[in-house]
Amino acid sequence: MAVEETEYVQVASLPELEDEGRTVVSSDGQPIALFHHEGEVYAVDNRCPHMGFPLTRGTVEDGILTCHWHHARFELEEGDTFDLFADDVQTFPTDVREGEVYLDPDPEPDVPPATRRRNRLADGLQENISLVMAKSVIGLDEEGEGFYTPLETAVNFGTRYRAMGWGRGLTTLGCMANLHEHVGGRDKRRAMFMGVREVADDSAGEPPRFQQYAFDNRDLSKSRLKSWFRNTCEVRDA
């Protein structure tokens, strides 16, 4: 999708960014991290999508941005995560004009927010990651899908992937679904999260082994992919 020039805003001086390597700018109150890496300028949300640690305090090496709190890693250009316990970090298109750095502070999302939340809920169930499931349930509730979507997703997952069939996870989910209309506020979210989490825990370790998503960046060199593969082997993620 083409981006109009008027959507870009000037945020930094290129010579200063080259000297510092990184900086934090703000657009409409949103902190954005700028990085100068391998001759290119990259912009990402400065809040790590895992738990909010400032990404400018992290490390950039071989095109990988690593958060220094829990070591979540991100492909710098497109923001895709190497580690599913985190999430993809928001990136912002950049442009350099006459020594000044410009960026689009409000890029069009790749998928609607509700779809993204549904996908992340599925990730949380597949990998049995409580934080991912909790954030997904909360996000779906904010999108007006706080009951049926988590319920349907967890039922489909539990009935398909638990080898021994119906178990305590699906029973707990049913109990929480029955309680949903009788509690208020945050307790609705808590009930759905507890049910979803129990389904994931009850199905953990069952086949199949779920594959991670492919990166959006299709312009990566063979040498870079080889380097990343070796890195993931060394940290036992391959």
Res 235: pLDDT: 77
Q: How far is 167 from 198, CA to CA, in rounded Å?
A: 10
CA distance readout (Å), 117 to 2, 54, 175, 237: 26, 23, 23, 24
Task: Report, as an integer, the average pLDDT of 183-211.
Answer: 94
Q: How far is 199 from 150, CA to CA, in rounded Å?
A: 11
Per-domain boundaries in the chain = 5-107, 113-203
Phi-psi region of 171 (alpha: psi -120 to 50; beta: other; left: phi over 0): alpha
15 contacts 99 by C-beta, under 8 angstroms: yes
| CA proximity to 72, closest of 53, 92, 91 | 53
Q: Order of strands across the sheet with 100-103?
A: 9-13, 100-103, 94-97
Helix residue spans in the chain (DSSP H):
14-20, 113-127, 130-142, 148-161, 168-179, 186-203, 222-234
Residue labelled with tokens 């809040």:
47
Q: How far is 218 from 74, CA to CA, in rounded Å?
A: 15
5-107 maps to which CATH number? 2.102.10.10
Res 156: pLDDT: 97
Phi, psi of 21, rounded to the nearest 5 degrees: 85, -30
Res 185: pLDDT: 85
3-state secondary structure of 24: strand
State pLDDT tens for residues 43-76: 999 999 999 999 999 999 999 999 999 999 999 9
Q: Given a cut of 90, is residue 191 above it in pLDDT?
A: yes
Res 98: pLDDT: 97
DSSP 58: S
Q: How far is 127 from 210, CA to CA, in rounded Å?
A: 8
CA distance readout (Å), 18 to 21, 38, 60, 103, 216: 5, 10, 14, 16, 26
User: pLDDT > 90: what percent of the chain?
Assistant: 85
| CA proximity to 188, closest of 231, 145, 130, 147 | 147
Res 7: pLDDT: 87
Give every CB contact of residue 176 below 8 A, 6+ residues apart in sequence: 191, 192, 194, 195
